[in-house]
Amino acid sequence: MKYKFITLFILCIISCGSDGTGTGETPIDPEPVDDTINAITYTASNDVISNPERGFMHHWAVESEGAPLSLAMLNALKNEKVTIINRIYYLDAFKDADLSAAELDLITTDFERLRTTGVKCILRFAYNSDQNETDAPLSRVLAHLDQLQPVLTENADVIAFVQAGFIGSWGEWYYTTNNLTTVENKRAILNKLLEVLPKEIKVQVRTPLYKQEIFEYSTAMDASVGYGDSDVARVGFHNDCFLASSDDYGTYQNVAVEKQYISNEALFVPTGGETCPPTNVPIASCNTADTEMALLKWTYLNLDYYGPVLQEWRNNDCFEDFQKELGYRLLLKTGRLKKEATANGNFELDLVLENAGFAPVYNKKNAFLIFKSVGDGTVYKKALGLDVRKVVPDSDYDLKESIGLADIPSGDYKLYIKIEDASTSLKDRPEYAIQLANSGTWEASTGMNELLHTLTIN
């Protein structure tokens, strides 16, 4: 009898210690579900998205006192998903004279039409478009910049970036007839340009060595400098012979070192430009172009030149990829948002953002969390500390902020993120707001991005 009792006792121990799976291991309880939190996984969009200050651009030049930009052509850019143009003013009639009232009126009219149609420009001035022509002496360049200062200041809202220009044919800092390519003269023109432009506008020079020579440094700036508004923090790069030879027609001297320098600096200042007819290299393949644009953080590229390079990408089905990836492409990945909050309390915003583009946002923007009443549509707008320039490629960005609800009545609210232009003239224009690259979130009429969440304030 005692043996039977012992056997039953052993069986009981074995049974009680088993998890029922035959492994003998104690099961791990799943984490409890917090039903006060809405855990959201956002869906990335595959669409080409029109966003300000990035993407493919058109290159539209005008001679002295020429015709202003066409409203019809500017409006047609929407069909191409184009939001920027490269506007070049050739000042050939003013190499020995002040800019005329007609020339200044032309520039002013262009800015007005850009604003009307929701477009921005990358700006450049030059004195000729032929390497056999002359440019202007330094004193004349500086005087023209003084004349341009009021119109540039007044219309800074529709200037995306400024290419340094003025020196040599096409304003490309070569072929000068007035000795403007010495370091001293380049420095004088760049410094004057930075002086007359509002602090928020970034300027681009033609090669990395030009910037290094002018500012007398060679180590790429870091975030402590790059997010400031010192002169060095305002100067980026434009390459007008991208992917065209082993050194991009003299853009680089020490190719690998200077490309890495640009890559590091381009976290803070823009790169862009156009391709050229290739010399001693094949037309850039999709893979080559993708690798280079990712490394150098390209934010814009000319649609009008060089045609065979662009056609190569169309033929090989990567042109649309570049439409998406040039510049920034911000999107929501996940969110953990409380379903309820207490009136006069705080709401904890907890989102993860991603930048799937080649480059960051370079110009400051204002970001807001929007509460829109489900009942009557009343909107409450709360400023966020988010600096979208810091949502950089190749890393997730945790957006966690506590938002006070003191002035928001009890009720149900849909939540939105709005990232708007920093200028007062454009802040309410949805064409100048940033659309996040998610499916089912963009509200085109307001420029807001829905977070797919309803908050109840009790």
Average pLDDT, the chain: 94
The total number of structural domains in the chain stands at 2
| pLDDT bracket for residue 438 (50, 70, 90) | very high
Domain boundary among 295, 325, 355: 325
pLDDT at 2: 38
Per-residue pLDDT tens over the stretch 303-353? 999 999 999 999 999 999 999 999 999 999 999 999 999 999 999 999 999
Per-residue pLDDT tens over the stretch 240-271? 999 999 999 999 999 999 999 999 999 999 99
Q: Distance from first CA to last CA of the chain, Å, rounded?
A: 68
Query: Is 19's pLDDT higher than 90?
Result: no
pLDDT at 29: 55
pLDDT at 32: 67
Angle ∠(293,296,298) on CA atoms, nearest 5: 55
CB-facing half-sphere around the CA of 68: CA atoms within 13 A: 15
pLDDT at 418: 98
| Amino acid in position 371 | F
**From CA 150, how far away is CA 94, in angstroms rounded?**
18
Give the single-character DSSP code of 42. P
Q: What is the CATH number of the domain that holds 105?
A: 3.20.20.80
In a domain, 6, yes or no: no
Query: Is 211's pLDDT higher than 70?
Result: yes
- Same domain, yes or no: 128 and 276: yes
The DSSP result for 342-395, as a single string, is -TTSEEEEEEEEEE-SSS---S-EEEEEEEEETTT--EEEEE----GGG--TTS
Q: Would you state the torsion angle of the CA atoms of residues 293, 294, 296, 301, taken in this order, to the nearest 10 degrees? A: 30
- Same domain, yes or no: 42 and 76: no
pLDDT at 34: 87
Which run of H or E residues covers position 90?
Answer: strand 84-90
Residue 440, Ramachandran bin (φ over 0: left; ψ between -120 and 50: alpha; else beta): left
Rounded to the nearest 10 degrees, the angle between the axes of helix 183-196 and helix 208-215 is 90
- Same domain, yes or no: 43 and 191: no
Per-residue pLDDT tens over the stretch 389-422? 999 999 999 999 999 999 999 999 999 999 999 9
Domain boundary among 297, 325, 353: 325
Asked if 47 contacts 18 with a C-beta cutoff of 8 angstroms, the reply is no
In a domain, 335, yes or no: yes
Query: Is 11's pLDDT higher than 50?
Result: no
| Range of the structural domain that residue 312 is part of | 55-325
Domain boundary among 302, 325, 348: 325
Query: Is 186's pLDDT higher than 50?
Result: yes
In a domain, 100, yes or no: yes
pLDDT at 10: 37
The DSSP result for 184-214, as a single string, is HHHHHHHHHHHHHS-TT--EEESSHHHHHHH
- Same domain, yes or no: 150 and 248: yes
Give the single-character DSSP code of 61. E
Per-residue pLDDT tens over the stretch 277-312? 999 999 999 999 999 999 999 999 999 999 999 999
- Same domain, yes or no: 243 and 208: yes
